[in-house]
């Protein structure tokens, strides 16, 4: 449990694949990036490491603070293995 939520209110687990808003292009087309939650950052306690899908350690750190990430949605969940991401309880989204 990392106490961080996507835009639907589902809790984000390690190894989940995320769809992250990137930018709005011509004719208001929305572009997205796909990332994977690699795990807790050992060098920066209290942060998750979110990497590209290519498996390289290139990405960014996300602070674990219990908030809802409005531009992030879980598209594939590997989580704890016993609970599919569609079956995870949705929390309150403000």
- What span, in angstroms and rounded, lies between the C-alpha atoms of 21 and 78? 21
- pLDDT, residue 73, reads 94
- pLDDT, residue 21, reads 96
Reported as a pLDDT band with limits 50, 70 and 90, residue 92 is: low
Q: 2, 10, 1: which is closest to 68 by C-alpha?
A: 10
pLDDT digits (tens, 9 = 90+) for 29-86: 999 999 999 999 999 999 999 999 987 778 999 999 989 999 999 998 875 555 676 7
Per-residue HEC secondary structure of 4-59 comes to CECCCCCECCCCCEEEEEEEECHHHCEEEEEEEEEEECCCCCCEEEEEECCCCCCE
Residue of 88 and 94 predicted with greater confidence: 88
Q: What are the residue boundaries of the structural domains of the chain, listed by start?
A: 17-77
- State the average pLDDT over residues 4-24: 92
- pLDDT, residue 54, reads 86
Reported as a pLDDT band with limits 50, 70 and 90, residue 2 is: low
Q: In what order do the strands lie in the sheet with 30-40?
A: 59-63, 47-52, 30-40, 17-24, 72-76
Length of the chain: 94
pTM for the full model?
0.82
């Amino acid at each position: 449990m990392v106490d961080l939520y996507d835009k639907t209110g589902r809790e984000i687990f390690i190894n989940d694949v995320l769809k992250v808003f990137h930018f709005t292009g011509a004719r208001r087309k929305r572009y997205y990036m796909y990332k994977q939650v690699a795990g807790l950052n050992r060098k920066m306690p209290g942060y998750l490491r979110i990497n590209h899908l290519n498996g390289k350690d290139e990405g960014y750190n996300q602070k674990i603070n219990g908030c809802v990430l409005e531009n992030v949605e879980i598209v594939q969940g590997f989580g704890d293995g016993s609970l599919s991401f569609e079956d995870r309880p949705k929390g309150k989204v403000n």
